[in-house]
Amino acid sequence: MAQRDSGPEPGMDSSKGHRMGAMTLPPFERLYLAHREDVHASLRRLLGRERADDAFQETFLRALRAYDRLAHADNLRAWLLAIARNVALDELRRAQTVDSAAAPEPVARTEEPAGYEQLAELAGQLPAKERAAVVLRYAYDLDYDTIGAALGSSGEAARQAASSGVRRLRKELS
């Protein structure tokens, strides 16, 4: 089963939990079966259902390309989710340059109870750019410059998109 206590996602070079000496990576199949639903849910939140499938495949192919060179086998769920986030950011960046008018579908409901799933679900009603900014800021804890870069705009524009998204959510909730 997927671990639930991984905390914030680390970057690819997570510095915590390095283990000395020999280590064995679990067979990739096991990793895939344990975390594929979480990875797909995470991609749905960021990209919408339609684009999540392609990003899902790209996430696991990227993971396979790097897997046998991993320095340790700690917190592989967080590692996979970090790759998924990077794939989603690339996709958002690409979509921004190719077709700035493309609006992804609203995110689907997920069964996961954690707070940020609820946030993502609510954010699913927002316009694409506001949704991405809200989810990346409050669920993924990215700074505005990073979000701006991902969305093909500035940090200031990302901050405005997030805050107008939050205002819109407040209005809908009240």
Q: Contact residues for another protein (CB under 8 A)?
A: 24-30, 32, 36-37, 40, 53, 56-57, 60-61, 64-65, 67-68
Least distance CB 81 / another protein (angstroms): 15
Least distance CB 26 / another protein (angstroms): 7
Residue 81's contacts (CB-CB under 8 Å, 6 or more residues apart) are: 6, 9, 35, 38, 39, 42
Least distance CB 80 / another protein (angstroms): 13
Would you say 13 or 68 has its CB closer to another protein? Answer: 68
Secondary structure in 3-state letters for 67-120: HCCCCCCCCHHHHHHHHHHHHHHHHHHHHHHHCCCCCCCCCCCCCCCCHHHHHH
Would you say 7 or 113 has its CB closer to another protein? Answer: 113
How far is the C-alpha of 142 from the C-alpha of 105, rounded, in Å? 22
Would you say 105 or 163 has its CB closer to another protein? Answer: 105
Least distance CB 164 / another protein (angstroms): 33
Are residues 1 and 22 in contact, defined by beta-carbon separation less than 8 angstroms?
no
